[in-house]
Amino acid sequence: MHKPRPSRLTRIVPAAIAAVAALSLFGGVAAAAASPADASHETAGGALAAAASTPPPADVKGKTFTIGTDTTFAPFEFRSGGDLKGIDMDLIRSIAKLEGFSVNIKSLGFDAALQALQSNQVDGVIAGMSITDERKQIFDFSDPYFDSGIQMAVAKSNNDITSYKDLKGKTVAVKRGSEGEAFANSIKNKYHFTVKPLDQSATMYDDVKAGNSVAVFDDYPVLAYGIRQNNGLKAVTAKERGSSYGFAVNKGQNQELLAAFNTGLAELKANGQYQKILDRYLKAPDEAAPNSSFFALLANSFPALMKGLGLTMLATVLSLIFALIIGIVFGFFKVGSSLVLRGIATTYVAIFRGTPLLVQAFFFYFGLPQLTGVPIDVLTAGILTLSLNAGAYMTEIIRGGIQSIDPGQLEAARSLGLGYVTSMRRVVIPQAVKVMTPTFINQFVITLKDTSLLAVIGFAELTYQGQQIYASNFRTGETLLIVAALYFIVIMLLTQLSNLLDRKFNK
Amino acid sequence: MSTIHVKGLTKSFGGNDVLKGIDLDVADGEVVCVIGPSGSGKSTLLRCLNKLEEISGGSVVIDDFDLTDPKVDLNQVRQRIGMVFQHFNLFPHMSAIENIMLAPVELKKQTKAEARQSALQLLTRVGLEEKADARPASLSGGQKQRVAIARSLAMNPGIMLFDEATSALDPEMVGEVLQVIKDLAREGMTMVVVTHEMGFAREVSDRVVFMADGVICEEGTPEQIFSHPEQPRLQDFLAKVL
Ligand SMILES: Nc1ncnc2c1ncn2[C@@H]1O[C@H](COP(=O)(O)OP(=O)(O)OP(=O)(O)O)[C@@H](O)[C@H]1O
Ligand SMILES: [Mg+2]
């Protein structure tokens, strides 16, 4: 019965989370419902055991513990150059080293990590998790290792707003459903400002930099990390009331690990290493370090973007090949005489043209594995989605192309004694292909652009890479310009090439 | 020996009876012209003769092949029958000579070289040898129809069907096409010619068939049909078109 912090919506749009949540509803609810009962069952024994075993036994030494964490919740855990970094990661690793145990970190996602802990698949969870009364009923928490809270920030160049009083008549950006929003709403009448809820941190910061809002209320660590990354803001108030984050183990279990964490944390605080770790991620840059130049950004982001572009092209080409095969089969079903086959093709086209591509992507990535029990990787799901989607359009392109050819052409061929297949192959199809080529090129461009929608299921194509880049450097505008320019250049080149081939072969 | 025997042929589209029992025999080398008002079923009759239309009832026998027999290889029979359409139906993505060579090469009746040789001869026959490599789009209507006739002759058929072969042509081009058809007639081709050119019908045919409302209303020699029509409907029709 954990309350997920709303502020952890990072790159995936809320719809994606809603989709996962909805699809995992049965499993999730069942597990969550069952656990408190189990936990309370064990509470007495567990608590006794814990009480009896203080001071901590030294038996963590040499052991390996599996620790669950979130996928991306900067600055607590996030991937950088393939490695998991962040305050949580540095803390748990330093403590492990100090106390002589090893950790095997599993980046599972917040909800999944908590479920894994409940089912004992991991020994502990460190995931920027607030210590709440609800959670305390299921888990045992360490001493708080971080105090969060809401802070206000404004654009770096703004010297007019220094306190809540200056907000009168202005607009303030908050993250939808977050503690920051709750806090802003609690004081908006007192200070007479308007609250504007947005979905992502990066969007909020851009809103402030663009001048649409004058200030933002966000979690102190998230905000401090952004400022450290030169997101163009500065903090102007002290941190407000807030929750504390703790390391958790399952109720009554792994008490020696919990004790070792507490001991290690105290030692890190005493020797100054704790502060060093926090400063690494949260300390404001001493003097406003200017943003690197646009060309430095371009150079830095280029390798990742090229990797993304490669995947975009791979997904486009593979999808179009499959779509073409699907389109040929179903296109011929549609012009053929069999009512059954025509019905099948019509139904297929109706379904895939009649539903949004985004919903199809969610279905194949999140839904299908739930129905079949077979997990599906993101590349397969992405290509499956695009192939079936583009296949529906291809079917219609091919049907339309064939039907646009005068029936007299087929009759003339048949009257010469040529069979149906030969007549189609030599007479109808060559003419239909010529008619269809511009529409094919069009579909090619559409599918290439549609691959960007797969970013929402975490398919690491060009748009996704762009999002990853501006999620960490906060240079949204410039990064998106680069991404857009890459799409534009590739599409221009491919369109020119296609037209050239069209002119050459379809004289 | 190329012959056509049609017995009790009926054809309906949905509930619409278009042919209501046609009996027609065409002897080897005979030229039959079919005339009649629009919608009387002339094209439908012609298209039943090579089964471009499914036959609803009765029988059509080409040489020894009964088209209503499911065991008959239609593609084989169709090679014995050339068909010329009102709108030419040339293949626009092929040159004139490729249009003609397509069937012999695809059906493996000739090698490419042989097919080219005979195609050139056919083009010469219709007076278009210099247009061999031209695309249909660059030909005049009369030239297109002459290429189409050459194409329909490529499989060396014994029977030719013409469906208003000159109706889509500008008047000054009608003559050149009719001349080609006349030449074929003189060479002894068995032909069924649907036409609105009464003068031509009178000149070229051995027999004229007048169709109205899906039946053969009257038939006879050109002399009988054009000079001594008996049925009032035929008299009406001739009064209108002559
Ligand atoms: N494929 C079809 N489906 C339905 N009805 C058809 C079809 N083909 C022809 N018909 C109908 O059959 C009737 C005869 O048509 P047909 O084309 O044989 O006439 P026609 O004598 O050739 O006329 P025209 O001199 O105008 O060419 C017409 O009423 C026409 O509407
Ligand atoms: Mg007709």
* Interface contact A416-B93, CB threshold 8 A: no
Given this model, what pLDDT does residue A81 score?
60
Strand A215-219 to A150-155 pairing: antiparallel
If one counts every other C-beta atom within 10 angstroms of the C-beta of residue B238, the result is 16
Residue minimizing CA distance to atom 1 of ligand 1: B13
Determine the Cα–Cα distance for residues A418 and A426; give it in Å rounded to an integer.
Answer: 10
DSSP output for A14-31: HHHHHHHHHHTHHHHHHH
Chain A residues close to B152, C-beta within 8 Å: 415-416
**Comparing C-alpha atoms, which of A398, A433, A381 is closest to residue A323?**
A398
**Residues by chain with Cβ below 5 Å of ion ligand 2:** B 43
Helix residue spans in B67-106 (DSSP H): 74-78, 96-106
What six digits make up the tokens of A342?
Answer: 């025509």
Strands B159-163 and B81-84: parallel
- Residue B211 CA: which ligand 1 atom is closest? 21
CA within 13 Å, CB half, A53: 19
- Does the CB of B12 have a partner CB in chain A at under 8 Å? no
In this complex, is the C-beta atom of B152 within 8 Å of any C-beta atom belonging to chain A? yes
CA distance A280 to A78: 14
Higher model confidence: residue A127 or residue A201?
Answer: A127
| A331-389 pLDDT, tens digit each | 999 998 899 999 999 999 999 999 999 999 989 988 888 888 888 888 899 999 999 99
Q: Over the stretch A489-500, which tens digit does the pLDDT of each residue have?
A: 999 999 999 889
A383, HSE (Cβ side, Cα atoms, 13 Å)? 16
Mutate to test the pocket of ligand 1, among B19, B35, B40 (most ligand atoms within 8 A of CB): B40
Starting from the CA of residue B38, give the closest ligand. Answer: 1
Instruction: State pLDDT tens for residues B185-199.
Output: 999 999 999 999 999
Looking at ligand 1, which residue's alpha carbon is closest to its atom 8?
Answer: B44
Interface check for B131 against chain A (CB to CB < 8 A): the answer is no
**Alpha-carbon distance A420 to A470, whole Å?**
57
Q: What is the pLDDT of residue A176?
A: 81
| pTM for this entry | 0.67
Instruction: Over range A95-106, report the average pLDDT.
Output: 92
The tokens for A145 are 């290792």
Q: How far is A471 from chain B (nearest CA, A)?
A: 54
Q: Give the pLDDT of residue A369.
A: 82
Does residue B154 belong to the interface with chain A, where contact is any CB pair within 8 Å?
Answer: yes
Tens digit of each residue's pLDDT (9 = 90 or more) over A468-484? 888 767 788 888 999 99
Question: Is a pLDDT exceeding 90 seen at residue B155?
Answer: yes
Mean pLDDT computed over A48-61: 55
In sequence order, what DSSP letters do the residues of A95-151 get, joined into one string? HHHHHT-EEEEEE--HHHHHHHHHTTSSSEE-SS-B--HHHHTTEEE-S--EE--EE
The overall average pLDDT reported for chain B is: 94
The whole-number pLDDT of residue A372 equals: 86
Pocket of ligand 1, beta carbon within 6 A: B 13, 16, 18, 36, 38-44
Nearest CA to ligand 1 atom 28: B39
Q: What angle do CA A445, A11, A487 make, to 5 degrees?
A: 20
- Tell me what the mean pLDDT of segment A209-234 comes to: 86
Of A212, A169, A164, which is closest to residue A184 (Cα–Cα)?
Answer: A164
What pLDDT, in 10s, does the model give residues B69-126? 999 999 999 999 999 999 999 999 999 999 999 999 999 888 999 999 999 999 999 9
A153's enclosing H/E stretch is strand A150-155
Cβ separation B85–A411 shorter than 8 A: yes
pLDDT digits (tens, 9 = 90+) for B30-59: 999 999 999 999 999 999 999 999 999 999
Beta strand B57-62 pairing with A64-69: unpaired
Instruction: Quote the mean pLDDT of chain A.
Output: 83
Query: Would you place residue A82 in the very low, low, confident or very high pLDDT band (cuts 50, 70, 90)?
Result: low
A261 CB-near residues (< 8 Å, 6+ apart): A92, A95, A99, A124, A142, A247
Residue A56 has pLDDT above 80, yes or no: no
For ligand 1, mutation pick of B10, B43, B161, B237 (most atoms within 8 Å of CB): B43
Measured in residues, chain B has a length of 242
Identify the residue with better confidence: A39 or A335. Answer: A335
Confidence of residue A39 (pLDDT cuts 50, 70, 90): very low
Q: Nearest C-alpha to atom 22 of ligand 1 is from which residue?
A: B43
B13 touches chain A (CB under 8 A): no
HSE, side-chain direction, 13 A CA sphere, residue A428: 27
CA atoms within 13 A on the CB side of A242: 22
Distance CA(A455)–CA(B158), nearest Å, equals: 67
B85 CB neighbours in chain A (<8 A) are: 408, 411-412
**Which of A406, A409, A416, A425 is the best residue to mutate to test the B interface, defined by the most B CB atoms within 10 Å of its own CB?**
A416
Q: Hey, are the CB atoms on B75 and A412 less than 8 Å from each other?
A: no
Q: Note whether B211 and B217 are within 8 A (CB).
A: yes
Q: Name the residue with tokens 């966000």.
A: A218
Best of A411, A415, A418, A424 to substitute, by most chain B Cβ atoms within 10 angstroms, is A415
With a pLDDT cut of 70, the percent of chain A lying above it is 86
Among A408, A418, A430, beta carbon nearest to B93:
A430
CA A35, A39, A41 angle in degrees (round to 5)? 120
DSSP letters, B103-169, are HHHHTTSS-HHHHHHHHHHHHHHTT-GGGTT--GGGS-HHHHHHHHHHHHTTT--SEEEEESTTTTS
CA–CA dist B99, B119 (Å, integer): 9
Residue A198: what pLDDT?
84
* Contacts A426 to B, Cβ<8 Å: 102, 106
- The pair of structure tokens assigned to B126 is 């219709």
**Residue A291 binned pLDDT confidence (cut-offs 50, 70, 90):** low
The Cα-based distances of A341 to A291, A335, A338, A501 in angstroms read 60, 10, 5, 33
Return the pLDDT at A58.
Answer: 58
Question: Cα A36 from chain centroid?
Answer: 30
If we measure between CA atoms, which residue out of A409, A431, A434 comes closest to residue A420?
Answer: A409
